[in-house]
Amino acid sequence: MTDLQQQSLLVDLNAAQQLHLRYIAKADATGPAVFFMHGAVENGKIFYTHSNKGLAPFLARLGYRCYVADLAGRGESKPAIARGAAYGQTEAICAEIPAFIDKIIAHSGEFPRFWVAHSWGGVLFNSAFARFPEYIDKVSACAYFGSKRSLYNRHLGKFIKGNLIWYWLAPKYAQKHGYLPARQLKWGSDNETIKSHYQSMQWAKVLPWVDSDDGFDYGAALRDKSLPPILHIAGVKDKSLAQPIDIKKFMQESGLGLQELKIYGRSHGHHHDYGHIDMLTHPQAVRDQFQDVQAWFARHA
């Protein structure tokens, strides 16, 4: 019998949309709240399974109260992305993240002190810090798994997954279907709206970090700010989506705060050569990067 409980919390974003937030904790937990954000063509399941595997259950067993988000239309948020869905990452940054935070505060009684992201989720989190600088001092530390904004690496896989698929094929599929059917195409575990794909595609190019809706300049907003301490996690087999060069460029445009990059693979003394997805899902992660996330949070508690 597990010592953890899982519960679905529902957030009414507006009259037409309901967001899903998965709560994972011990029954009597009183530890700090942790906010988890998935990346593009994903949902919150990157952080947990119903059988309590993954990073969120790992931290929950240590006493943390974990809250795993599904962005609008992804995972168990309703309705699922379909033709005509008009929202994108601007809405995720300006409306959905604040709504999740409000729900976490209402449920836990405190602002989420630790933030965890995978891939594009780290870009959304830092964008939220730029839009809502009042969040910064309330967060003790962050851990980002394979988070980058623009792709600088020149690996062959980057040209296939980035230039060929994300920049060329994906817009064609999105226009044909009215949304990007990434799950059906086996490009990811969830779909994207036309707008969310377009906006992330523009930022993945080596272009300014500026919002296409209102021109808000995230890079300029963060230039002189110190964000919470961020542990950046890279995998030695993550050759196309988040090489160290890509992560370092993201770190450089993310303000003045403490940031640390660690690379995970056998050549660095770890138990597995990790890639972009299995840095969170491989069984050996509990012996490697999960331990370092725990130590990072304890260090900055």
For 56-99, give the DSSP string: HHHHHHTT-EEEEEE-TTSTT-BSPP-TT----HHHIIIIIHHH
Task: Reply yes or no: is the peptide bond before residue 79 cis, omega within 30 of 0.
Answer: yes
Residue 248 CB neighbour total at 10 angstroms: 15
The answer to whether the beta carbons of residues 91 and 72 sit under 8 Å apart is yes
Q: Which stretches of the chain drop beneath a pLDDT of 50?
A: 1
CA distance 174 to 270: 39
Confidence (pLDDT) at 2: 64
Superfamily of domain 4-299: Alpha/Beta hydrolase fold, catalytic domain (3.40.50.1820)
Structure tokens at 178: 């009215």
Structure tokens at 123: 């870009």
Confidence (pLDDT) at 225: 97
CA distance 174 to 299: 44
Confidence (pLDDT) at 1: 41
The answer to whether the beta carbons of residues 116 and 22 sit under 8 Å apart is no
| SS3 state at 16 | coil
Q: Distances from the Cα of 279 to the Cαs of 98, 225, 242, 250, in angstroms?
A: 27, 29, 12, 19
